[in-house]
């Protein structure tokens, strides 16, 4: 089974989509398998991260903003603005795909784990995540 999940972002930050993925798995009828998630973009990424304390996500954003700051004068790829190349670097350093086990008709995530799209651009975008589920 597969499905395209669209996430509308309002700019840089984390967008949790755990519940959408859980519904997809629950409605599939698949008891045991693997859910693959794939971000169809080069300036956003996916991650499994703590969903209890928002300070974790704040600190991750702070870290990457220091590692790949916007508007560096030596970058050549700037056609879409000062956040363009930094967004590509952020995506290259993180992940564009994830795999999550499915057990007993549910995602086998830990108690504090959530699925996130990490938007690296400062402007709003419509991001597509391909959910692909295999199993029995």
- Chain segment 73-116, per-residue pLDDT in tens: 999 999 999 999 999 999 999 999 999 999 999 999 999 999 99
Of 122, 117, 65, 67, the C-alpha closest to 96 is 117
- The dihedral built from the CA positions of residue 90, 92, 93 and 95, taken in this order, carries a sign that is positive
Rounded to the nearest integer, the mean pLDDT of the chain is: 97
Q: What's residue 35's pLDDT? A: 98
Q: What's residue 49's pLDDT? A: 97
Q: How confident is the model at residue 2 (pLDDT cuts 50, 70, 90)?
A: very high
Q: Residues in the chain, how many?
A: 136
Mean pLDDT score, 37-47? 98
Q: How confident is the model at residue 36 (pLDDT cuts 50, 70, 90)?
A: very high
Find the domain containing 71 and state its range. Answer: 2-135
CATH of the domain at 69: 2.60.120.460
Number of domain units in the chain: 1
């Amino acid at each position: 089974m597969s499905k395209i999940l669209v996430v509308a972002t309002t700019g840089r930050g984390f967008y949790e989509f755990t519940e959408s993925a859980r519904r997809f798995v629950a409605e599939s009828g698949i008891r045991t398998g693997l859910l693959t998630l794939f971000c169809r973009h080069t300036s956003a990424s996916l991650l499994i991260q703590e969903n209890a304390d928002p300070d974790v996500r704040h600190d991750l954003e702070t870290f990457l903003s220091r590692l790949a700051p916007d508007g560096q004068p030596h970058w050549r790829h700037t056609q879409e603005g000062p956040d363009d190349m930094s967004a590509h670097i952020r995506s290259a350093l993180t992940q564009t795909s994830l795999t999550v086990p499915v057990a007993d008709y549910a995602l086998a995530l830990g108690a504090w784990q959530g699925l996130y799209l990490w938007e690296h651009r400062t402007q709003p975008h419509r991001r597509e995540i391909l959910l692909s589920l295999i199993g029995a």
